[in-house]
Chain A
């Protein structure tokens, strides 16, 4: 029986020739990630267990991105705890305010993720890095503590769903629409305990930023990870970022999949997810005119340069509607610089947007854009659960950056093709 990309990577990191779905393996880790919310809990457990060594100070990444720049005293104390740990163990990849970005945009940009590698992160969107053809998955803080101490993690080898992409996306349709369409098709637990293995000629039509967006939301279908094959676009992205040797994996021709989903990219429309589940999807024509009070453009899902370009193309020469607050959060310092060089930041500010330093803040209702009672936001983030961005009466509609920008201009959910 052949293996999927995910199964091959897990086998290689477990020192095995072959693995099968359901098998429990202990795999060597190339990277362990934590942030300012999850790392402090991991550090407390690490200390409580009496551990005194990390497995490799070069293979741990700590990114203070969630409540930063610190929103309150308690958050500042958690950051201080992470900072002290990084100093104590001389952690190489420690990112504090000024150099940090939203972790899942930052790590690939810094060359910390490469094809064929295996990593865990104490953040559910760690699955983002499947875009570069590696196995990466979200875990909790205790797994992170164990990973930091041992460089090991246990995994149940996942069965797989093959997602075959064909055709080419239309203008104003992007990676966000692909993944929302998929989640709407299979449901929020449609890939529970499984990997999403992307394949097909349509992959080559997707930008790297689209692939990051798609892999990022694999968790919203319940998946353990989402993974893309490596092609010329991947290699071009990695050039100049990843200097260590890496080895891509390909799925065996006889790999076994529980299910296959075929998506013709050319047929996809701008797609949104209505409250309160990412699977509650509608095409844009079904929801146009729904009033909104806030727009968020950013996050680990859609805070990359391509995303900002798509939003700016819509906002250029236009104004954010009266009564709407539009917050734009470039996901890293480099993305901010690139957006400045291209004039995007000026477009946003002239349109009446607030442009923020990188932070996860509003996505999880932390800071920099919390909603009030009965308010509704359209957001390029990844979750629209009850109370995610504010009180339980507030609502979130998930959308791509062009739709979010068009909605900011219209003051209601809007189709960017009709502005």
Chain B
């Protein structure tokens, strides 16, 4: 699957501009995803594609619309050296896979074919013939992912009714 590559500090305003927050349905969010940083993204992205970016991905506004938009586009995973903390939480809570690896994020080039194994955290760049190990999630966070998101995990524990 193909890779879209962006720089440092990709903020949630460019992931999904505020002018589209009045329509938080998946179809609308997907159709404007990354519009202010890459106008061609929404019309060319295909299910299974991967975003590779620089540090502090998803900084700025807390809008969950940002990971929702990326997920609704069919993006399989976002790989970056670091994520802004609210985006990190939101991605986990809604089930958008993210992987932290500074080495992979630096080496992978736009257009490379990349595969990811979420169970092992292994990122493989098939074009370059290289692999990297992403930082593992803490067990608590992994539990949220395994339960299918935050609300499901809280319901399973019986604390949300």
Contacts and interface: CB of A to CB of B under 8 A. Distances in A.
Given A49-B151, A140-B89, A387-B36, A188 B64 contact: no
B51 interface: no
B14 interface: yes
Contact of B24 (A40, A122, A139, A152): A40
Give the interface residue-count category, chain A.
35 or more
B84 to A, nearest CB: 6
B36 A24 contact: no
A189 B13 contact: no
Given A154-B140, A222-B56, A222-B84, A139 B62 contact: yes
Contacts, number: 143
B90 A142 contact: yes
B161 A385 contact: no
Given A49-B160, A140-B64, A150-B160, A364 B151 contact: no
A392 interface: yes
A143 B93 contact: yes
Interface in A107-129: 122-124, 126
A385 B11 contact: yes
A142 to B, nearest CB: 4
Interface string A381-402: 0010111100010000000000
B37 A150 contact: no
Interface stretch (B15-23, B71-79, B105-113, B125-133): B15-23
Contacts of B14: 385-387
Nearest to B54: A189
A67 B19 CA distance: 10
A146 B60 contact: no
Contacts of B155: 49-51
Interface stretch (A72-80, A304-312, A372-380): A72-80
B6 to A, nearest CB: 12
A188 B56 contact: yes
A172 interface: no
Interface footprint category on B = 35 or more
B64 A364 contact: no
Given A366-B18, A366-B19, A387-B36, A142 B94 contact: yes
Interface string A199-237: 000000000000000000001001010000000000000
Contacts of A37: 18, 21, 63
A192 B61 CA distance: 14
A271 interface: no
Contact of A383 (B13, B24, B161): B13
B87 to A, nearest CB: 8
A250 interface: no
A156 B60 CA distance: 19
Contacts of A40: 24
A284 interface: no
Contacts of A189: 9, 55-56, 59, 82, 84
Given A51-B161, A387-B14, A67 B61 contact: no
B65 interface: yes
B62 A365 contact: no
A141 B13 contact: no
Contact of B18 (A41, A78, A365): A365
A45 B151 contact: yes
A287 B64 CA distance: 35
B27 interface: no
A142 B149 contact: yes
Given A24-B140, A189-B56, A222-B56, A149 B86 contact: no
The 7 closest A-B pairs by CB, nearest first: A140-B90, A140-B64, A74-B22, A189-B56, A142-B93, A387-B36, A124-B62
6 contacts: A37-B21, A41-B64, A122-B64, A143-B89, A192-B85, A364-B61
